[in-house]
A and B are shown apart, each in its own frame.
Chain A
């Protein structure tokens, strides 16, 4: 990694899909690998009523503005988030779409679409709750700045101790997600 870069990411879905954990693991992985990073979860009333989203900024330079309005990459795990955030995706940006839940047509041709049946991949791993990790694997595989293995190595930092029996399952999901778009 020689060039300086900054990547602004919005991650969205509904409550229970592990959106916040996805964002936190991405932030932890970036920090552990010497990138600058900010992570901003949606909070309060916004997280009630089912939707969940967070903003992650990472890059080689200090992050001045942690707010993400027009993301470089959008990760959407459900329909409502797809409709809400697609128009905000930067021209030339990437969208990672969970086709297990989103069958909408994409009416923009100025963006790169990475479509994957994220829930189905997780179900095939016998771990439907790991869809968030599958999505992270896809994200890391589609960008070059951090490897999926780096995220696997940071799982123990962000998963609460009582879930440490789930470390391997989550790591598998990250790697499976990465493989799914290779």
Chain B
């Protein structure tokens, strides 16, 4: 393992992507993720790989689509308004079953919103986001180190399941500088069958990369294959971290930066003798519904904390399915919940 260095989340994500075997990066400026394309513009040519600053987020995701169609590891990054623009391409990637990685460093919305940290794109990230019946894996770290680590997983999962994978951070994780070893999780890319890729047409019939399916039941059958794939992902790729949940009277559910604020509040609550635990989803989709369901009941309460006005809490409620009360605390529009406010909410729930 190499030594830790100080890097901001954006740069760590970029370098980890390069180490994970990224062949081509396409991006467009938007705050707070600008350090990713800036870093890539410097590093990708050094590695003899592709960097293009596109004319728009729409073009960027379609460049990703083109590169991915040839079997290359391709990626783009943006922040909330830009991710909205990419949804067309993400839907096509899902439909055409092309592996790709998209990073969303979320900022305040709706509309142009602001450039402050936010977690208000949860619905978009976990419900497909574009048109059609699809999902994509959504990975959320809560430190610069974990954001970097997840890039290796993101590319491997994209290849393994032939589809887009989103890595989700926010303005804080993007801009925050922490000690990080971007090589910590470095490993050779998983080897998958890429016989579907375009180019080098020899001794085979032509490959078609396509999301158009005409004819009776043809599209339905395609969708059923996609749904079967999504079920495998739900069954096998759920990731989370549960801390002090076993004896907890209240479990705080939070991901990304909100989980760090929550863990500060939980530490203070524990000092006051309150039995509080933290459940941190790492895969936002597939959501860790079963592990949460297993913790529900037994008189236990849940509190979702988000930088939104209540998005992930819906998944918590679906998982708990009435077995426990689920409360919510969140701030958004660029505002960040304070430790004190979360603590207050914890105490209110345990009165």
* Chains A, B in direct contact (C-beta < 8 Å): yes
- A141 at interface, CB cutoff 8 A: no
Residues from 17 to 33 in A contacting B, C-beta threshold 8 Å: 24, 27-28, 31
Contact status B263-A39, CB under 8 Å: no
Q: How far is the CB of B36 from chain A (nearest CB, A)?
A: 13
Contact status A24-B172, CB under 8 Å: no
- A40 at interface, CB cutoff 8 A: yes
Per a CB cutoff under 8 Å, which of B4, B32, B178 touches A39?
B178
- B179 at interface, CB cutoff 8 A: yes
A65-B339, A66-B260 given; A41·B175 CB < 8 A:
yes
A24–B175 Cα distance when bound, in Å, is 12
- A37 at interface, CB cutoff 8 A: yes
Contact status A69-B338, CB under 8 Å: yes
Interface centre among B32, B179, B263, B336 (most CB of A within 10 A): B179
- B286 at interface, CB cutoff 8 A: no
A31-B179, A39-B176, A43-B32 given; A24·B6 CB < 8 A:
yes
Q: Which residue of B lies closest to A20 (CB)?
A: B177
A63–B31 Cα distance when bound, in Å, is 25
Contact status B176-A66, CB under 8 Å: yes
Contact status A40-B264, CB under 8 Å: no
Number of B interface residues in the complex (CB < 8 A)? 22
Q: Which residue of B lies closest to A35 (CB)?
A: B179
Contact status A64-B263, CB under 8 Å: yes
- B171 at interface, CB cutoff 8 A: yes
Contact status B177-A65, CB under 8 Å: no
Contact status A37-B179, CB under 8 Å: yes
A31–B171 Cα distance when bound, in Å, is 22
Contact status B177-A40, CB under 8 Å: yes
Q: Which residues of A contact B176 (CB under 8 A)?
A: 38-40, 66
Contact status A65-B31, CB under 8 Å: no
- A44 at interface, CB cutoff 8 A: yes
Number of A interface residues in the complex (CB < 8 A)? 19
- B267 at interface, CB cutoff 8 A: yes
A63–B264 Cα distance when bound, in Å, is 9
Residues from 29 to 72 in A contacting B, C-beta threshold 8 Å: 31, 36-41, 43-45, 63-67, 69
Q: Which residues of A contact B336 (CB under 8 A)?
A: 67
Q: B-facing mask of A84-105, CB < 8 A → 1, else 0?
A: 0000000000000000000000
Contact status A45-B115, CB under 8 Å: yes
Q: Which residues of A contact B4 (CB under 8 A)?
A: 31
A24–B32 Cα distance when bound, in Å, is 19
Q: Which residue of B lies closest to A65 (CB)?
A: B264
Q: Which residues of B contact A64 (CB under 8 A)?
A: 260-261, 263-264, 267
Q: Which residues of A contact B261 (CB under 8 A)?
A: 64-65, 67
Per a CB cutoff under 8 Å, which of B115, B177, B263, B264 touches A27?
B177
Interface class of chain A by DSSP: mixed
A31-B179, A41-B177, A44-B115 given; A67·B31 CB < 8 A:
no
Q: Which residues of A contact B339 (CB under 8 A)?
A: 65
Q: How far is the CB of A10 from chain B (nearest CB, A)?
A: 15
Q: A-facing mask of B1-30, CB < 8 A → 1, else 0?
A: 000101000000000000000000000000
Q: Which residue of A lies closest to B176 (CB)?
A: A40
Q: How far is the CB of A102 from chain B (nearest CB, A)?
A: 27
Per a CB cutoff under 8 Å, which of A37, A44, A63, A66 touches B172?
A66
A28–B175 Cα distance when bound, in Å, is 16
Q: Which residues of A contact B175 (CB under 8 A)?
A: 40-41, 43
A43-B171, A66-B260 given; A27·B6 CB < 8 A:
yes
A27-B6, A66-B172 given; A44·B260 CB < 8 A:
no
Q: Which residues of B contact A69 (CB under 8 A)?
A: 338
A27–B180 Cα distance when bound, in Å, is 12
Q: How far is the CB of B202 from chain A (nearest CB, A)?
A: 48
Q: Which residue of A lies closest to B107 (CB)?
A: A44
A63–B172 Cα distance when bound, in Å, is 14
A24–B177 Cα distance when bound, in Å, is 8
A36–B177 Cα distance when bound, in Å, is 12
Q: How far is the CB of B106 from chain A (nearest CB, A)?
A: 14
Contact status A37-B264, CB under 8 Å: no
A27–B257 Cα distance when bound, in Å, is 20
A44–B177 Cα distance when bound, in Å, is 16
A27–B113 Cα distance when bound, in Å, is 31
Q: How far is the CB of B217 from chain A (nearest CB, A)?
A: 50
Q: Which residues of A contact B179 (CB under 8 A)?
A: 31, 36-37
Other A-B pairs beyond A45-B114, A66-B172, 8, CB < 8 Å: A38-B176, A38-B178, A39-B6, A39-B177, A41-B175, A43-B115, A43-B171, A67-B336
Pairs A–B under 8 Å by Cβ, sample size 16: A27-B177, A31-B4, A38-B176, A39-B6, A40-B177, A41-B175, A43-B32, A43-B171, A63-B178, A64-B260, A64-B264, A64-B267, A65-B263, A66-B260, A67-B172, A69-B338
